[in-house]
Amino acid sequence: MELNFGTNSLDNFCSDQDGLSLKPLRCPAPFLLKTYDLLEEGSEEKDGIKIVSWNEEGNGFVVWSPAEFSELILPRYFKHNNFSSFIRQLNTYGFKKTSSKIWEFKHEKFQKGCRHMLVEINRKKCEPSVFPQYLKSCSEENAMTSSSVEESINNHEILMEENKNLKKERLELQMQIAECKALEMKLLDCLSQYMDTSQNKVRRL
Amino acid sequence: MELNFGTNSLDNFCSDQDGLSLKPLRCPAPFLLKTYDLLEEGSEEKDGIKIVSWNEEGNGFVVWSPAEFSELILPRYFKHNNFSSFIRQLNTYGFKKTSSKIWEFKHEKFQKGCRHMLVEINRKKCEPSVFPQYLKSCSEENAMTSSSVEESINNHEILMEENKNLKKERLELQMQIAECKALEMKLLDCLSQYMDTSQNKVRRL
DNA sequence: GGGAATATTCCC
DNA sequence: GGGAATATTCCC
């Protein structure tokens, strides 16, 4: 079974140590904590050969032996033993592979001795571009060489599929709009605050 | 580690048995297959006491002993040993708890001896409540019962109409988003200009 | 029970 | 590398 590393909570707020002032403190994502801890918890070795470690500069890490890493390390920290799933997560959090020769990964905010910086690493949101590719949902099935009944059923299914996709797309667009509106509010808020501040500044002078 | 049950693929299409006609066949979701198999693979017992089994009528199943079920059964089929995660999945797929006294669950399409019916069980889609749900109605009409030719034509026209409207709506939403983005740009511009201006003002004073 | 975030898988 | 579906977790 999986080890438990203190913070398993999925939300990003923790209570303060003193238990009184409940100022919301950000917690790093579980994936980041586990990956960091995995590097700190002893230089992982097998038969005297390093499996995974921080790099020389301490500003990245190297998986020296992906096979051993997947088999021995991953299942101790995650619910799987697939190297590719681990990579997928690294990408999700914006890590970059630095070399085509070795499995070295870097992220500006992922550095040896800087566990506190992990909070600044954010999961990438999937933000569709302003005009999404509605070309994708277009159905391009030509294989209707059978009787007209089948054909009609087939057409029906294609229509249903397209319909379903359109509804999904609509929802996504509506959510995008909501996000835009939220951002507008923030900007307006920011603008008005700025105006206040600088007016005061002028007044004081 | 987890057992592997034939179909682990996450997409819902399988190739035909004969390997020639590649008509897409739906595969049940992994969760459903595992839950079904878990019930078929021997009456799970511990010390002569049933842990989980089909109910009398074979139209549902009962977790007789949640503690043993979580500890012994779940990790053999899933990547966890949490009863509540299992329940969460059941809810996601539309199962209903039938009693407040025992952990019995039913789904119309989940019946003993009917593994093939699992394909008809669909995951509930999460539609955020922020927006009006005037889209919730049409999703699962497969059963064209009797003199279905006229009906099918009728349905077809309705679908076409709905489809057309959806595309129109999409365009409108995309335009709304474009406007939002433009406004955002203006606001940002305004903000930066304002900052410049007021800094200059301060400098002059 | 279900919304929503993160994790894992599969596919392009 | 990343999109998208399903799985798992956490919270209300």
Strands (DSSP E) contained in B10-65 are 13-14, 25-26, 44-46, 49-54, 61-63
Bases of chain C below 7 A from a protein C-beta are 1-11
- Name the residue with higher pLDDT: A78 or B198: A78
Confidence tier at A146 by pLDDT (50, 70, 90): very low
CB proximity B122 to A under 8 Å: no
Could you tell me if A92 lies within 8 Å of chain B, comparing CB atoms? no
* Whole-angstrom distance, CA of residue A46 vs CA of residue A65: 10
Task: Say yes or no: Cβ of A7 under 7 A from any atom of strand C.
Answer: no
Q: Quote the mean pLDDT of chain B.
A: 75
Which residue's CA is nearest to the C1' of nucleotide C8?
A85
* A31 sits within 7 Å of strand C by its CB: yes
Burial of A147 (0-12, 13-18, 19+ CB in 10 A): exposed
The integer distance in angstroms from the CA atom of A110 to the C1' atom of C12 is 29
Q: What is the pLDDT of residues B107-140, one digit of tens each?
A: 999 999 999 999 999 998 754 433 333 333 333 3
Nearest residue, CB atoms, B166 vs list A81, A163, A198 = A163
Judge whether residue A23 has pLDDT over 60.
Answer: no
Question: Between B85 and A160, whose confidence is greater?
Answer: B85
Q: Which residues of B touch A156 (CB under 8 A)?
A: 152, 155-156, 159
Q: Which pLDDT does position A52 carry in this prediction?
A: 96
Please give the angle made by the CA atoms of B84, B86 and B90, to the nearest 5 degrees. 110
To the question of pTM greater than 0.75 for the whole model, the response is no
Q: Of B179 and B28, which is predicted with more confidence?
A: B28
CA distance B190 to A84: 45
Indicate the pLDDT class of residue A132, thresholds 50, 70 and 90. very low
Question: pLDDT at position A179, please?
Answer: 77
Per-residue pLDDT tens over the stretch A13-22: 444 333 333 3
Q: Which nucleotide is closest to the Cα of A95 by its C1'?
A: D1
Average of per-residue pLDDT across A169-186: 78
Q: Which residues of A spanning 10-69 put their CB closer than 7 angstroms to strand D? A: 10-11
